[in-house]
């Protein structure tokens, strides 16, 4: 479904954010992208939808090679990518339904969407999706009256309204509590299975990645250093991705010591979580 071939990104500042990353993500597969801060995870996701222009390499979505597309062709290709990004935040003053319908913007002209004239089948589908993500009772609520988890559900419904082939998901659980984080990841996983959707999820939480992804990609300093199954993540692989750390020791519970969520992933926790 999505193929990256020797994808490389060097920013104007000289930062080499990605080096020769080659990947093949089939339909229906949920892939978690993990790695330390600055490893290139966001850059990789943004190179797929070309919010960031790759320096070298190719990106294929099905048969379409994305890096060579004109802006007009790109707009069309982006309809096939559902984006669940933090900065694609909801429009607070609009209702849940209006936010979901805005996912259809790529298909309809500005005036039509401005006047909120959406085809009947699109409105029906929006109702269906809101029911599926558990928000039937919130359709007329304003977005700014929702909790973080509910907002993320609206974002998911909005992304799905355009019937994408792939979901590009950037830090979906960054500001959510542990239970809501699990619910959101489970929902994404279920929806991908139901719709044979591929997903790439940039996620810092290794435990969540292990629980809900079919495959884990580890990036370090822009290079792909691990590509395997969630249960293959052991101390040696975590060290390869994040660097040296005693992965078998529980984190210090001293509240005065700042916890680094990227590195404090003890193996004992990982194993315990994986067994749930």
Ligand X SMILES: Nc1ncnc2c1ncn2[C@@H]1O[C@H](COP(=O)(O)OP(=O)(O)OP(=O)(O)O)[C@@H](O)[C@H]1O
Question: Using CB under 6 A as the criterion, which residues of the chain lie in contact with ligand X when the complex forms?
Answer: 11, 13, 15, 17, 35, 37-43
| Comparison of 38 and 251: residue with beta carbon closer to ligand X | 38
Give yes or no for a contact between 40 and 4, defined as CB atoms under 8 angstroms apart: no
Q: How far apart are the first and last CA of the chain?
A: 31
CB of 163 to ligand X, least distance (A): 27
Residue linked to tokens 């940039």: 202
Q: How many DSSP H helices and E strands does the chain contain?
A: 10, 10
| Three-class secondary structure of residue 33 per DSSP | strand
| Comparison of 128 and 240: residue with beta carbon closer to ligand X | 240
| Comparison of 47 and 192: residue with beta carbon closer to ligand X | 47
CB of 88 to ligand X, least distance (A): 16
Beta bridge partners of 199: 30, 167
CB of 38 to ligand X, least distance (A): 4
CB of 7 to ligand X, least distance (A): 12
CB of 225 to ligand X, least distance (A): 13
| Comparison of 24 and 86: residue with beta carbon closer to ligand X | 86
Beta bridge partners of 82: 167
| Comparison of 11 and 88: residue with beta carbon closer to ligand X | 11
How buried is residue 197: exposed, middle or buried, by Cβ count under 10 Å (0-12/13-18/19+)? buried
56-61 and 2-10 strand pairing: antiparallel
């Amino acid at each position: 479904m999505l193929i990256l071939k020797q994808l490389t990104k060097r920013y104007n500042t000289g930062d080499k954010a990605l080096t020769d990353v080659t990947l093949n993500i089939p339909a229906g597969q949920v892939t978690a992208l993990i790695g330390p801060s600055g490893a290139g995870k966001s850059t990789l996701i943004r190179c797929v939808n070309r919010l960031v222009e790759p320096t070298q390499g190719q990106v294929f979505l099905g048969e379409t090679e994305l890096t060579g597309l004109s802006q007009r062709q790109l707009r069309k290709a982006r309809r096939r990518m559902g984006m669940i990004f933090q900065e694609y935040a909801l429009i607070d003053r609009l209702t849940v339904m209006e936010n979901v319908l805005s996912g259809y913007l790529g298909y309809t002209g500005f005036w039509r969407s401005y006047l909120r004239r959406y085809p009947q089948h699109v409105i029906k589908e929006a109702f269906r999706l809101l029911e599926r993500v558990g928000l039937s009772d919130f359709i007329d609520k304003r977005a700014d009256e929702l909790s973080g988890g509910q907002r993320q559900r609206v974002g998911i419904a909005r992304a799905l309204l355009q019937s994408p082939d792939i979901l590009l998901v950037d830090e979906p659980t960054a500001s959510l509590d542990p239970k809501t984080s699990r619910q959101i990841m489970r929902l994404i996983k279920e929806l991908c299975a139901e719709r044979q959707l591929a997903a790439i999820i940039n996620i810092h939480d290794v435990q969540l990645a292990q629980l809900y992804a079919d495959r884990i990609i580890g990036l370090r300093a822009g290079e792909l250093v691990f590509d395997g199954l969630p249960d293959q993540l052991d101390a040696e692989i975590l060290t390869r991705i994040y660097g040296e750390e005693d992965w078998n020791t529980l984190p210090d519970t001293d509240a005065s010591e700042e916890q680094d969520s990227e590195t404090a992933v003890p193996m004992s926790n990982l194993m315990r979580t994986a067994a749930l």
